[in-house]
Amino acid sequence: MIDKKIIEEHNLTLEEYEKIVELIGRAPNITELGIFSLMWSEHCSYKSSKIHLKKFPVTGKNVIQGPGENAGVIDIGDGLAAVFKIESHNHPSYIEPYQGAATGIGGILRDIFTMGARPIALLDSLRFGPLSKPKNKSIMEGVVSGIAGYGNSIGVPTVGGDIYFNNCYSLNPLVNVFALGIAEKDKIFYAKAEGIGNPVLYVGSKTGRDGIHGATMASAEFDQDSEKKRPNVQVGDPFKEKLLVEACLEVMAKNIIVGIQDMGAAGLTCSTTEMAANSGAGIEINLDLVPQREEGMTPYEMMLSESQERMLIVAKKDKIKEVQQIFLKWDLDAVIIGHVTEGGRLKVKFEGETVVDLPVDAIINLCPVYERESKVPSYLKSETIAKPLPSPKNYNKTLLKLLSSATIAEKEWVYRQYDHTVQVNTAFLPGADASVLRIKNTKKALALTLDGNSLYSYLDPRTGGKIAVAEACRNLACVGAKPVGVTNCLNLGNPEKPEIMWQFKEVVEGVAQACRAFNIPVTGGNVSFYNDTEAISIYPSPVLGVVGIVDDVSKAVSPGFKKEGDSVILLGENKEELGGSEYLKCVFNMEKGIPPQIDLQEEKKIQEFCLEAISLSLIESAHDVSEGGLSISVAECSLLSPQRIGFCLDLQDDIHRDALLFGETQSRIVVSCSNQKSKKLLDRAKKRKVKATILGKTGGDRIIISHCGKKIIDIPVNEAYNTWKEAIPDIFRIK
């Protein structure tokens, strides 16, 4: 008997339950209720976000597949397509950091190869609480080693990403994982169950009781008992998935299957219903045939299990032997568990009885959609800076302090644990503005980046959303890549709280505006709500993944200075903006103020100019100005140069020194340029109406910055380097 308590335990409202009864014309049994609870969960249904996400531009001439499939697909020329997507695995990573992160990698990779693409890159955006707390350190260690454990084994390089630290992530870390694969553009596979009578195959790992209710877990707030949910987190097996990748790609190359879907969140339930719904057909399966690793599993448990490394395939009726042969070669189960039917129903049999008989349309398409109430958060009023702040007495110390802040410091401790050179495509090692991967047998390269400063989004969600897109595109421009597609992961708190809903709507608006301005389509993504633990919500945290193309990889530009005596030139304008900066956070422990504002047209102009300068081989290095401001950006150009070339600048702007050095004004790129080319660069900038200012020269072994002739920073490059490089290892060193 389904009662109120059971409905609540399934995270459904009474109204939703009544709607289910109305849709199916009777009360559901417990297995059917379980199916609805998964597919109508926020995680699977996007019921709170759907209507807002319509604001995103999703079309473009190179879009092969927009949102709605396992991943987005973009035409990248030469008969090839880039298949990419970002997903969150926040909740499981808090409960069980290693496995939570590892299965996140497994899940996102399945989304990519399910579409017929060989995964070639992983990136991840991580957000943790401050590392001064041991718990946060252990979460970070677990997450990093989980990503490494899965990605390294399966042989997909983890080539980039970003990491931020903030108190709001102490009880709710974020693990957003991005993967990209390459496929032949006319050989993309979709999750469809076509051809009445075609066999439905179950391939991969056996089904166990792990991960039951994973998707519902991701759709509720956490409390102090969330540790108890540890058994809900699945355990990953990268070796099994490696076999699956190879077997699936081999099957796909042979044109013997009709459709394929991975069993990620919501397992058998999601894969069967989605495949049927996508082609207006039905599916009938027999659970007795499902390979099981535990005895006595009920239909409820089997339908809701989130055991990893499983796929569902609809094969061509006459090719079934060939399909099974390939899976056998890779020592994998490939069992016929059912077939495609007419009539659009999901029928599930178990021990001779029909245990599920539901219309797939109701499960997939008729989930209620909510326009939830929204309200401007009250905290916004109190987050302004009341009085003028004292300027630093010793700018050298301030610069070093910022270089050692975990958000800015060198992340080698992290990326050294990730195999980032496997697959022999990695043209730029981690640390560059964007990851650059050559595309074999072409002159081209793909450039990838993830971005999202959540402090800006907390203080002004719309601006934060815009900047996330703008900065990602700016990172691409710095290496010489033109953006071609976007995927995004929007991480927020409980959408049933009006203030959170307001943040969400604003972030979406900002992201949408920026994508339109840059004319890049959103091809998919993920919304992760309910990132609240013990009533503390995270800052609204949009993470933007942008894919770009470098036409000629030999022209790609890295951020480090290349030689002594080059001119250091700033593209863009310094303004007096200090709000939301890493400087305020580090020095004054203040997360306040108006974040930097952004003019999207101005931003676009700067980026286009940077691309032009790179295509004409006018510049030696390019690096964007972001956290830490101008001084940190130029310092990084020195620290990222293999010879660690110093520099000497004299800034002339008539603005407060703290804002000039550490303010995070947008639309700025620091480039270096050999002397014989600097005039040409400046002339061209003038023609394009881009402000370009010579700040000084590279050379020597010191970091020297003056303001209107007065020296305010002067430190040896080596000291800055050691501070920056050792900050994170120091935190983790066993003392």
Q: Which residues bind another protein (CB under 8 A)?
A: 145, 148-149, 152-155, 237-240, 242-243, 329-331, 415-424, 426-427, 429, 438, 440, 553-554
Residue with smaller CB distance to another protein, 250 or 357: 250
Residue 554 C-beta: closest distance to another protein, Å: 8
Structure tokens at 140: 């970070």
**Would you say 644 or 702 has its CB closer to another protein?**
644
**Which amino acid, one-letter code, is at 211?**
G
Say which residues have a Cβ less than 8 Å from residue 518's Cβ, sequence separation at least 6. Answer: 469, 470, 473, 483, 600, 604
3-state secondary structure of 89: coil
Minimal distance, residue 410 CB to another protein, in Å: 13
Counting Cβ atoms within 10 Å, is residue 352 exposed (0-12), middle (13-18) or buried (19+)?
Answer: exposed
What's the half-sphere exposure (Cβ side, CA atoms, 13 Å) at 261? 25
Helix (H, G, I), strand (E, B) or coil at 358: strand
Closer residue to another protein in complex, CB, 149/483: 149
Asked if 89 is an active-site residue, the reply is: yes
> Angle, to 10 degrees, between the axis of helix 498-518 and the axis of helix 461-479?
30
**How do strand 174-184 and strand 692-698 relate by DSSP bridges?**
unpaired
C-alpha 305/C-alpha 211 separation (Å) is 6
Q: For another protein, which is the closer residue by CB, 126 or 570?
A: 126
Least distance in angstroms from the C-beta of 285 to another protein: 28
Whole-angstrom distance, CA of residue 96 vs CA of residue 218: 14
- Least gap, CB of 441 to another protein (angstroms): 8
Give me the least distance between CB of 146 and another protein, in Å please.
Answer: 12
The DSSP result for 568-587, as a single string, is EEEES------TT-HHHHHH
Residue 153 burial class via C-beta count within 10 angstroms: exposed 0-12, middle 13-18, buried 19 and up: middle
* Angstrom distance (rounded) from CA 701 to CA 715: 9
Least distance to another protein, CB of residue 429, Å: 7
The pair of structure tokens assigned to 546 is: 């942008």
DSSP letter (8 states) at residue 619: -
Q: How many CA atoms lie within 13 A of 302 on its CB side?
A: 24
572, 625 in Cβ contact below 8 A?
Answer: yes
Could you tell me the smallest distance in angstroms from the CB atom of residue 735 to another protein? 15
Structure tokens at 661: 């050095």
Cβ–Cβ contacts within 10 Å for residue 5, how many?
8
Residue 646 DSSP label:
-
Q: In angstroms, what is the minimal distance from the CB of 731 to another protein?
A: 15
Burial classification of residue 441, based on how many CB atoms lie within 10 Å of its CB (0-12 exposed, 13-18 middle, 19 or more buried): exposed
Nearer to another protein, 108 or 266 (CB): 108
Q: What is the DSSP string of 35-68?
A: HHHHHTSHHHH-TTTHHHHTTS----TTEEE-BT
SS3 for 549? strand
Nearer to another protein, 239 or 379 (CB): 239
Under DSSP, the state recorded for 727 is H
Min CB(152)–another protein separation in Å: 6
Of the pair 95, 243, the CB lying nearest another protein is at 243
Q: Which is nearer to another protein, 149 or 521 (CB)?
A: 149
Question: Between 152 and 273, whose beta carbon lies closer to another protein?
Answer: 152
Tokens of 149: 């454990």
Residue 284 or 419 with smaller CB distance to another protein: 419
> Using CA atoms, how far apart are residues 417 and 40, in angstroms rounded to an integer?
38
Residues in the chain: 735
DSSP structure class, residue 225: G
Q: What distance in Å separates the CA atoms of residue 491 and residue 528, rounded to the nearest whole number? A: 5
Instruction: Output 307 or 426, the one with its CB closest to another protein.
Output: 426
Cα distance between residue 582 and residue 239, in whole Å: 41
Beta-bridge mates of residue 311: 203, 262
Helix axes 395-403, 717-732, angle to 10 degrees: 40
Query: First-to-last CA distance in the chain?
Result: 58
- Which of these is catalytic: 10, 52, 89, 91? 89
Please spell the DSSP secondary structure of 157-187, one letter per residue. -EEEEEEEE-GGGSSS-EEEEEEEEEEETT-
181/493 with CB nearer another protein: 181
Cβ 698 to another protein shortest distance, Å: 22
To the nearest whole angstrom, how small is the minimum distance from the Cβ of residue 92 to another protein?
21
CB of 43 to another protein, least distance (A): 29
Cβ 640 to another protein shortest distance, Å: 14
By 3-state DSSP, what share of the chain in percent is helix, strand and coil, each rounded to 5? 40, 25, 35
Q: Tell me the angle at which helices 134-154 and 97-113 cross, rounded to the nearest 10 degrees.
A: 30
420 is catalytic: no
CB-nearer residue toward another protein: 355 or 427: 427
SS3 assignment, position 610 = helix
Rounded CA-CA distance 545/24 in Å is 40
Residues marked as catalytic: 43, 89
